[in-house]
Structure 1
Amino acid sequence: MSILYKNDEGWFISHEQFITKLYNTISEQNNLDLFYKHFFHINQPFNRDNQNICNDDESNNCLLISKKRKRKKTFIEEDELHCKIRLFISKVKNETKIFSQISNKNDNNLCARLASNKFYNKTIKKKICFGENKNSTLYISNQYIFPPLCKFYCDDIDNLNKLNNEKYDLILMDPPWTNKYIKRKKKKIYDEGYSMILDTDLEKLPIGQILAPDGLISVWCTNSQNHINSLINNFFPAWDVSYVATWYWIKVTVNGEYVCKFTQPPGKQPYERIIFGRKRNINSVIKNPEDNKFIVSIPSSVHSHKPPLTDVLSSFLPETPNCLELFARYLLPNWTSFGLETLKFQHLFLYQQSILTDVQCLQIKENLL
């Protein structure tokens, strides 16, 4: 299990621990400093000079400072959310010993950023292909590692017809939403900027055809109000699903700080949304996710490397669900993964002795990243 803490309001999960438990059997020495672990060396917030600052991270009062004119309605809604997030994080800190008490050097997460940079330089895009591991154990082939009982389509999302209208109890997706920041980043590092998709093209995906009766859909969504509105008001009806709930993924450092400051919308936030819909079924017996739950974790330094939700979603699914991830970037046991980068995090070097050392992480200069 990746769940380290839970209460009525949400969970603290460990992405790193999930990976470790899944892949540590490829090495007899489980204490090796494997390469992927560097992704989670998030020791301090990522600060931006032009960020609108929320003064008091630990208080229940949020004072926002901005040069832009406030959007009153959105400000009030977001302010209430920020305060609830603070209260939840305070509970995690008070009731657990999850967070490190050691002060880390002020290097702006240099080791994690260096690991991310080397990851992009070493990984290659796989050509269109299909594969599966029918075994109940890990399988290694051609410098890739495959978890048990997984299936993948390394293919464009427009080719969902290859699923042959199979029905899924859960469809999870992390769409490449249109984003100005990613457009700028793509100009600098091509592979780090994924191909974005228009909202109109997302709406046309045949989700309703492959979602099982009473099936659940879970969508990672940006904090853009336009994207949120499009998903709930346009996509869900087109996919024959009804809106159920919104959760929030809160990103923190190993010390329990937010990875960035809370800001006034539409500024960057230390959280993302997960929005749920359920296929319409008046005879449903499976409970729906409750609204406004929190998932807290230390994020990966690699863009769009989302934490797995397998453990926290199990109570909202049948006992042995058929699960599908779209726009997938890694494989999961008992899941089908579909997307152009399904094998992105399956390269074997990620699960071997690290090619980085602490000395290298400290010696490398920021302007080389």
Structure 2
Amino acid sequence: MSVIFVSKQSAIVDHEAWMLQMIGQHSSSDNGDHSHCDGGIEERKKIKFQELFDLRTPFLMDDQACKKAVELEAKEANATEGTAFARERKRKRKKKEPRIQGNESEAEVGHIQEVFSALRLTPEFKAHFSYIPTPQDFRLNNSHIRDLRKRFTEATNTVLPLLDECSGQGGRLQYKVIDGKEYVLPPDVRYICGDAADILKHTAGTLYDLVVLDPPWHNKYIKRRKMGHGSHHGYDMMTVEDILRLPIGSVLRDGALVVVWCTNNSSQIREFLTGLHLWGVQLVAKWYWLKVTRGGEPVTPLTDSCLNKRPYEHLFLAQKYKSNGSSSSIPDGLVFSSVPSGLHSHKPPLEEILKPYMCPRPQCLEVFARSLVPGWTSFGLEVLRLQHSSLFQTIT
């Protein structure tokens, strides 16, 4: 189960558990030389991708993290000594005033804070996010995740050939070598490596009930990474106009749901929502993915507008106009929390949280995909990148 808890306003999603469940359900005891995904072995050993979710502390610069470690050690020492001086300092400490810019951002952050505060009081949240970081965790500053991300980025630096293939005979994981690199393929998937603009060439009249998109929005952070570390640390970005020009409306069944991961750039959001009608859909809900540590802390402060990196992302849900005119039952303003993967654009799974709003056995398509979902069609230039076998090896 990827959804640990869900209510009308909030949810808890476990991306790591979803991946483990997929491996466990579709692994075979007869995998030849691929014992790293053996169903028996995974019960006793961790799998490499689990390290990506071992986020122990919030996102900090190294000097900030070291300062936090010193403060935490001092706090622990004072708590042990129980001095009156420590209590006096605690009383005099002033709380920083939140810095939020713009009425729209203020309302948005206020909503997320209100919903998240209630979510943190639930038994499910307390049980799931129970980790307490140590001073050493702050000193390490999640370096193990950063190291793994760097190694993975280097290992998967390749341009896939054009592909349009299916996998999953027998309901088991399959292993495929393409241009010298091995990929792990879940069952019952169709994966297409190609430009999203050419999607109609591959769908051949197929209509979908759900289309999920994670477009390559223009992003200053990605631009800086490409300039500083090389082009393989980023991707080719698209304008809002280019994204809206994609023929998404032509692959939608009547009443189909379109789910779009969106940038936090307010001007891009406004431009995108203004042109959403070009796909023949109307906006029905806006959700928020709030990224938290293993201890349940937002990865960056919610109320500090001076930070470039917000701890949440927007998810827009739109629906193709229904011929019967019936309204959608999808809740607006849902805030779902999860520990994010250490890899860029490795989004949490949505199939389970969207299931109540879908028809039975829906046809699902992901555009700009970087990984595969059993039963789905996945389309993108990096469609197999997060299926690289290095992520599925057991840790010895």
TM-score bucket (shorter structure): 0.7 to 0.9
Matching of residue 151 in structure 1 with residue 184 in structure 2: no
Cα deviation, residue 113, structure 1: 1.0
Matching of residue 181 in structure 1 with residue 221 in structure 2: yes
Matching of residue 112 in structure 1 with residue 145 in structure 2: yes
Q: Secondary structure at the match of 1:345?
A: helix
Any conservation in 2 of the 1:246–1:273 contact (CA below 8 Å)? yes
Structure 1's 76 and 318: CA in aligned 2 closer, same or farther, altered over 3 A?
A: same
Any conservation in 2 of the 1:286–1:316 contact (CA below 8 Å)? no
Structure 2 residue runs of 5 or longer lacking an equivalent are: 28-36, 65-94
Any conservation in 1 of the 2:120–2:126 contact (CA below 8 Å)? no
User: Distance between the aligned counterparts of 1:120 and 1:205, measured in 2?
Assistant: 28
Alpha-carbon deviations, 1:318-349, whole Å to 9, x = none? 10100000000000011000000110111122
User: Distance between the aligned counterparts of 1:322 and 1:301, measured in 2?
Assistant: 29
- 1:328 paired residue among 360, 366, 369: 369
The corresponding residue for 1:97 is 127
Structure 1's 72 and 346: CA in aligned 2 closer, same or farther, altered over 3 A?
A: closer
User: Distance between the aligned counterparts of 1:200 and 1:82, measured in 2?
Assistant: 29
1:112-151 equivalence runs, <5 A: 112-125=145-158, 126-135=160-169, 136-142=171-177, 143-151=182-190
- Identical pairs, percent: 31
The corresponding residue for 1:362 is none
1:250-269 equivalence runs, <5 A: 250-262=290-302, 263-264=304-305, 267-269=308-310
Alpha-carbon deviations, 1:155-212, whole Å to 9, x = none? 1112112222311100000001001111011112321211101111111111111111
1:39-54 equivalence runs, <5 A: 39-48=52-61
Alpha-carbon deviations, 1:56-104, whole Å to 9, x = none? xxxxx99324xxxx74423532342242243144234676411134323
1:352-367 equivalence runs, <5 A: 352-354=393-395
The corresponding residue for 1:15 is 15
Structure 1's 237 and 285: CA in aligned 2 closer, same or farther, altered over 3 A?
A: closer
User: Distance between the aligned counterparts of 2:217 and 2:114, measured in 1?
Assistant: 27
Cα deviation, residue 33, structure 1: 2.1
Any conservation in 1 of the 2:168–2:185 contact (CA below 8 Å)? no
The corresponding residue for 2:41 is 29
The two structures have a TM-score, normalised by structure 1, of 0.86
Matching of residue 160 in structure 1 with residue 160 in structure 2: no
1:206-355 equivalence runs, <5 A: 206-234=247-275, 236-262=276-302, 263-264=304-305, 267-283=308-324, 287-354=328-395
Alpha-carbon deviations, 1:288-331, whole Å to 9, x = none? 42100011100001111101101000111110100000000000
The two structures have a TM-score, normalised by structure 2, of 0.81
User: Distance between the aligned counterparts of 2:119 and 2:61, measured in 1?
Assistant: 22
Cα deviation, residue 111, structure 1: 0.9
Structure 1's 37 and 226: CA in aligned 2 closer, same or farther, altered over 3 A?
A: same
User: Distance between the aligned counterparts of 1:83 and 1:329, measured in 2?
Assistant: 31
Structure 1's 280 and 145: CA in aligned 2 closer, same or farther, altered over 3 A?
A: same
User: Distance between the aligned counterparts of 2:285 and 2:151, measured in 1?
Assistant: 37
| More helix as a share of residues | 2
User: Distance between the aligned counterparts of 2:268 and 2:219, measured in 1?
Assistant: 10
* Count of aligned positions: 341
Letter in 2 for 1:307: P
Structure 1's 255 and 350: CA in aligned 2 closer, same or farther, altered over 3 A?
A: same
Structure 1 residue runs of 5 or longer lacking an equivalent are: 52-60, 356-369
User: Distance between the aligned counterparts of 2:46 and 2:168, measured in 1?
Assistant: 29
User: Distance between the aligned counterparts of 2:50 and 2:376, measured in 1?
Assistant: 23
User: Distance between the aligned counterparts of 1:253 and 1:93, measured in 2?
Assistant: 17
Structure 1's 71 and 38: CA in aligned 2 closer, same or farther, altered over 3 A?
A: closer
The corresponding residue for 1:364 is none
User: Distance between the aligned counterparts of 2:285 and 2:63, measured in 1?
Assistant: 33
Cα deviation, residue 23, structure 1: 1.3
